[in-house]
Structure formats: structure tokens, C-alpha cells
Amino acid sequence: MKRQLQKGFTLIELMIVVAIIGILAAVALPAYQVYTLKAKTSEVVLAASSCRTTVTEKYQTGNTAPGAGNWGCESATSTSKYVAKVSTTDNGAIGVTVVGNGVLDSSVNGALVYLEPQDAGGVALTSNSVGATSVNRWNCGGSSAAMLKILPGSCAANYATAPTGTFKP
């Protein structure tokens, strides 16, 4: 009668596999956390999309700029879990105030995401352009370095300072 040898993994082989899994998890976890922050921040950009439509319409069909806080799309109260308020400048630039504490990263609490209307040449539109020039694209950015890091890919973070004008809800 032949003796059967037991086959399986040795303790050292199992320890190597556990170590490899640990290293992979240590590398993947920070990347996953940034990914989830970017996904949450995309909701902030989305909150400004209805305001983008309103501002674009006014530039195409209006005669005069309505002024800061009078474009018809602002909100002085929270519109979602990640948005504290939506405000505009006299030029139609949109500022979305982020709720960060306990929801997003606390370093972006109170930060702004900016959307600025531009013409085909990439020049920021002014209130004098209403009725004369249409909005061709939107420049996007944030008010802090922490905000710029977590803006979604759809938001080309080209500047870290606010567009000209005062944001009013």
C-alpha cells in the first residue's frame, strides 16, 4: 500500500501572499479615498449646471445683465448634501459653496467651486457682453489648493482665485 502525501501551502507561502495583499491594500486605499472625494465633488459641479443654463440663456437672449445675485438661479440655502449655497457675480460667474465638515474633507469646508462664462477665445465674458456674445465654454476652478486637488476631471482647474466680481446669493 502506497502512502499518500498531503499537499498544500506552506506557512511561508501563506505569509508571503498575506504580505503582498497588505502592500496592495496600502497603495490602493489612498487612491480610493481621493476617487470617492472627486465623485462627491462632482455633485458640487452638477449643482451649478442649472445655473449655467440660466446664465447662458441670459447672455444669448437678454439685453442687460441682471446683476450679482439676480440671474435667477441662486440659492442662499443648501441644495444638496455637499452644497451650502449657489451664488453669482454681475458677470454671471457661478460660485458654489461646499459643505465639507463631516461630509467632504474638512479642508474644503466653505471653499468655492467657480464656473466662469467665456467666449470662443477663452476670454471671460463681462456684463456688457449680454445680448452681444454667447457663452462658448465655462472655465472651472476652486478657491483653495485642497479644493483644486479634488475637483473632478470634467472641471479643468485653471485658476485658484475667484473671477472678478462679488458673489451674491
Domains by residue range for the chain, with CATH: 11-150 (3.30.700)
Look at residue 163 in the predicted model and tell me its pLDDT: 74
Q: pLDDT value at position 158? A: 56
Among candidates 103, 106, 95, which has minimal Cα distance to 163? 95
| 8 Å CB contact between 138 and 123 | no
- Cα separation of 81 and 104, whole Å? 9
Tell me: pLDDT of 147 over 60: yes
Backbone angles phi, psi at 27, to 5 degrees: -80, -40
pTM: 0.79
CA dist., res. 139 & res. 142, Å (int) = 11
